A and B are shown apart, each in its own frame.
Chain A
Amino acid sequence: MSDTTLSSPAASDGKDSSVPQKTSLYKEDALTKKRNASEKRFQAYGITAILIGLFFLVVMAYSIISEGIPAFTRTVLTVEFTVTQEQFDDAEGQLFKTRAYEGVFTEAMSQQFQEKEIAVPFDITAIERIVGKPGNTIRQYYLANPDQLGEPVEFELAASSRVDGYLNGRLTRDNITDSRFLMKSDLDLVDVLVEGGIIQTVFNWPFITGADSGVDNPGGAGIGASVVGSLFMMLVVLFLSLPIGVAASIYLEEFAPQNKFTDLIEVNISNLAAVPSIVFGILGLAVFIQFMHLPQSAPLVGGLVLTLMTLPTIIISTRASLKAVPPSIRDAALGVGASKMQAVFHHVLPLAMPGILTGTIIGLAQALGETAPLLLIGMVGFVARGYPDSFVGGFLDPNSAMPAQIYTWAARSDFAFYEKAWGGIIVLLIFLLSMNILAIILRRRFERRW
Chain B
Amino acid sequence: MKEMPKIDKADEMSETKIAASKVQVYYGTTHAIKDVDINIQPRSVTAFIGPSGCGKSTFLRTINRMNDTIDICRVEGEILIDGEDIYDPKVDPVQLRAKVGMVFQKPNPFPKSIYDNVAYGPRIHGLAKNKSELDEIVASSLQKAGLWEEAKDRLDEPGTGMSGGQQQRLCIARAIAVNPEVILMDEPCSALDPIATAKVEELIDELRENFTIVIVTHSMQQAARVSQRTAFFHLGILVEEGPTQDIFTNPQDKRTQDYITGRFG
Contact = CB atoms under 8 A, between A and B. Distances in A.
Interface of A: 1-9, 12, 14, 17-20, 22-26, 28-29, 31-32, 35-36
Nearest to B142: A6
Nearest to B116: A1
Nearest to A3: B156
A1 B138 contact: no
A1 B156 contact: yes
Interface of A is mostly: loop
A34 to B, nearest CB: 9
A13 to B, nearest CB: 10
Contact of A14 (B82, B84, B138, B140): B140
A412 B116 CA distance: 61
A104 to B, nearest CB: 78
**Contact size range, B:** 35 or more
B223 interface: no
B161 to A, nearest CB: 15
Contacts of B139: 6-9, 12
Contacts of A24: 84
A5 B180 CA distance: 25
B217 interface: no
Nearest to B115: A4
Nearest to A12: B140
B113 A28 contact: no
A29 B156 CA distance: 32
Contacts of A26: 84, 88, 90-91
B261 interface: no
A168 B184 CA distance: 71
A8 B136 CA distance: 8
9 contacts: A4-B156, A8-B143, A18-B144, A20-B99, A23-B99, A25-B81, A26-B90, A26-B91, A32-B92
Contacts of B144: 12, 14, 18
B258 interface: no
B215 to A, nearest CB: 19
A35 B86 contact: no
A1 B179 contact: no
A32 B90 CA distance: 12
A36 B124 CA distance: 12
Interface string B166-195: 000000000010011100000000000000
Nearest to B152: A6
Nearest to A32: B95
